[in-house]
Chain A
């Protein structure tokens, strides 16, 4: 007998604020909105940070970012939102943030989140690193049994979870808004009949010249993103292409884990990057810039890799680390092999050691392909991610949510 009803089962999302610009916040928002369109669910959202928006179709709770991962808030919110119903807590955070919930260790946490709870715990975790010997580290493995359902955003992630003891793990990619992220060309949209070209979006939107070689990079300013490799790659390309080379960098803050102005100065690419660092752009503004690039890079290791999918959706090849989930989105020629691996953080995660030279060589090759057949390459790139559109991917997502009620 199912614990759930046919209609209006309460599902509470626990994630970054849905109106935030973080990838996790966007994923949480999209999935919560999808569930809100299904009669099987009644949707709530406990947001880390944020103040809500009237347009969001669910009950909105929030707590301050200073309160970490919501340990002191979830129990009260769940009691209020679930009422007498059996419910679901769904989180898309990294597993390392959810130990208190899946495997509570203190008496206080056990009382609130232990065996007596009246809800299932589902996790959609962006696993992005192996552990020392291959599977996830021992500390993370210990919390895996505490989840009722485990889902990864990539096949790579699913296999890692299965190798780490969750043989029932499944995978489902993120939804990508391909109506916004698509090849953008202002003249073509204003004057029907113009063909997509490398020139128009550049001169009108960015001030870049038609002949410029433009490399894009969209990365949050955090440790996992290898900014020095991105800058070294840009330095080598600037040396090759001279003043024609431009480096567009979109991030969330200039000084965070990395100091971007300092990197630009020390790598000597001030001229290439000047005026091309952006923060807080809308999706539409991002799409215009992705479309104008010859290529983008993502020297990182990802649980999914939104910037990869968005770049491809805009018809622009993305050079990606050949490790973790991101490489699944691209063809072999867009994967850049790490030169080594190292163990990092208190969870002993295996991180790739990358080379700016490897990325620069791959970008130079990709630029040639792209310039030889701009439209053909755009179509190829877009074909890699068209299946991620809301219109297509929402159906398997809905089935996944429905399966959990049986």
Chain B
């Protein structure tokens, strides 16, 4: 199975990976395109079967992470009927709660439930997990996606999302298509926040609603509106 690592370079130095594998960098220092548009460009230009999208402020410590990723795809592929379409370094067992459509729209009702990872500060975000498990939604800082599946689903939703909730969108598409997402608890550090507080991001022309606040709100709102047939998501 072929794979390609791609990172969209905005405010961070680029991913720091053990063994220094080849990373294709899509330069976006001035934030001229949204991360979603950049991801779509990566999808449009890759020939690999698996596209591994890593944030530019991510550091992975365990050298076996990529092999584990591909093993997850291969294991289920062996019977010729793969259900796994995405792998990440962090993920949650649920996305959104049961009040999502019983009460008026609230961003908080779309929160992840049961998040786990092996990030350096894993306990800040949820629980620590160094194994492998099926999840309902991946964490966006590291996502490996089957390219044939994503293309068949129409690619990234560039007309509706810019940055927030891309992982949620992927989760909902997988659920709608009866596919699975898994996480691998490889040790990593996601520095986070390095890009989003910079002026080039705050003033980016692609922000939904023209501001970071609106961009956040409208992204959630679109997910709420679009995926009512599958949300809330739960993985047992």
Interface residues, chain A, with chain B CB atoms under 8 Å away: 155, 171-173, 383-387, 391-393, 395-396
Contact = CB atoms under 8 A, between A and B. Distances in A.
Contacts of B98: 396
B228 A391 contact: yes
Interface centre among B98, B100, B102 (most CB of A within 10 A): B102
Given A392-B228, A395-B229, 16 more contacts: A171-B102, A172-B102, A383-B104, A383-B105, A385-B104, A386-B104, A387-B102, A387-B104, A387-B105, A391-B228, A392-B101, A393-B101, A395-B101, A395-B228, A396-B98, A396-B101
B103 interface: yes
7 contacts: A385-B104, A387-B104, A393-B101, A393-B102, A395-B101, A396-B100, A396-B101
Interface string B101-115: 111110000000000
Interface string B194-232: 000000000000000000000000000000000011010
A386 B105 contact: yes
A147 to B, nearest CB: 20
Contacts of A391: 228
Nearest to B99: A155
A311 to B, nearest CB: 15
A158 to B, nearest CB: 10
Nearest to A173: B102
Contacts, number: 28
B143 to A, nearest CB: 26
A396 B100 CA distance: 9
Contacts of A155: 102
Q: Interface of chain A, helix or strand or loop or mixed?
A: helix
Contacts of B231: 395
Residue in A155, A172, A391, A396 whose Cβ sees the most chain B Cβ within 10 Å: A396
B229 A387 contact: no
A387 B102 CA distance: 7
Contacts of A393: 101-102
Nearest to A396: B101
Contacts of A396: 98, 100-102
A392 B105 CA distance: 11
Interface string B86-105: 00000000000010111111
Contacts of A173: 102
Contacts of A383: 104-105
A393 B231 CA distance: 11
Interface in B94-145: 98, 100-105
A163 B30 CA distance: 57
A172 B98 CA distance: 10
Contacts of B101: 387, 392-393, 395-396
B207 to A, nearest CB: 22
Contacts of A171: 102
Nearest to A400: B98
Nearest to B102: A173
* Closest A-B pairs by Cβ, 10 of them: A395-B228, A396-B101, A395-B229, A392-B228, A392-B101, A387-B104, A384-B104, A387-B101, A173-B102, A393-B101
A273 to B, nearest CB: 33
A154 to B, nearest CB: 9
A155 B103 CA distance: 10
Nearest to B98: A396
A391 B102 CA distance: 13
A155 B102 CA distance: 9
A385 B101 CA distance: 10
Contacts of B228: 391-392, 395
A147 B228 CA distance: 29
A171 B101 CA distance: 12
Contacts of B103: 387
Nearest to A329: B104
Interface string B145-184: 0000000000000000000000000000000000000000
A173 B100 CA distance: 12
A187 B229 CA distance: 36
Nearest to B231: A395
A248 to B, nearest CB: 27
A143 B137 CA distance: 42
A386 B228 CA distance: 13
A173 B229 CA distance: 17
Contacts of B104: 383-387
A264 to B, nearest CB: 36
A387 B103 CA distance: 7
Contacts of B102: 155, 171-173, 387, 393, 396
A171 B103 CA distance: 11
A392 B103 CA distance: 11
A118 to B, nearest CB: 30
Nearest to A328: B103
